[in-house]
């Protein structure tokens, strides 16, 4: 393979990879209201690396919020808020559920924490463009040699 082409290709991939380094996490604050048998809001969206602060308020009886996959729990009593702070270091869709038996539909009291990969779309697009250009260049060089 042509060394110059390979060097350009590697330099391009390195440049895009450096540009793709995840930015410092943001801080997200959610005030989650718990009542029989729901959370409001019930979907929390953050990016990987973000610092997440949840304040849990109960509007009727004691409720909890346990985040699957993160193994974190917080409890709120009426008039006594709970708070939870963590870094969203795992991507995916995690269910959170009430951790205090609060009534007949307690098992259905759930919400979702969505942690996105935190890599902007254009970074993937740029990486694909550089790889595509590299492959085209290599193919062109090989054809010229065979001709």
Of the candidates 35, 48, 51, 106, which one interacts with Cu ion according to CB under 5 A?
Answer: 106
H/E stretch holding 128: helix 121-146
Nearest to Cu ion of 103, 132 (CB atom): 103
Please give the Cα distance from 54 to 31 (Å, whole number): 6
- Asked if 98 is part of the footprint of Cu ion (rule: CB under 5 A), the reply reads yes
Task: Tell me whether residue 102 or residue 130 sits nearer to Cu ion (CB atom).
Answer: 102
Residues numbered 27 to 46 that lie near Cu ion (CB under 5 A) are none
Binding mask 54-93 for Cu ion (x = CB under 5 A): ----------------------------------------
In the sheet that holds 82-87, the strands lie side by side as: 38-40, 27-35, 51-58, 82-87
| Out of 57, 75, 102, 127, the residue judged to bind Cu ion by CB under 5 A | 102
Contacts of 4 (CB under 8 A, 6+ apart): none
Q: How far apart are the C-alpha atoms of 143 and 73, rounded to whole Å? A: 62
- Residue 67 or 98: the one with the smaller Cβ distance to Cu ion is 98
């Amino acid at each position: 393979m042509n060394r110059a082409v390979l060097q350009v290709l590697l330099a391009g991939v390195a440049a895009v990879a450096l540009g793709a380094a995840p930015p410092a996490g943001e801080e997200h604050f959610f005030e989650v209201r718990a009542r029989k048998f729901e959370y409001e809001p019930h979907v929390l969206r953050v990016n990987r690396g973000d610092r997440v602060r949840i304040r849990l308020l109960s509007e009727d009886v004691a409720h909890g919020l346990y985040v699957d996959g993160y193994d974190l729990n917080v409890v709120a009593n009426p008039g006594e808020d709970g708070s939870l702070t963590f870094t969203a270091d795992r991507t995916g869709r995690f269910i959170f559920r009430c951790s205090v038996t609060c009534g007949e539909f307690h098992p259905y009291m759930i919400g979702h924490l969505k942690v996105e990969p935190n890599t902007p779309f254009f970074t993937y697009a740029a990486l694909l463009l550089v790889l595509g250009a590299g492959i085209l260049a290599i193919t062109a060089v090989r054809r010229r040699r065979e001709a």
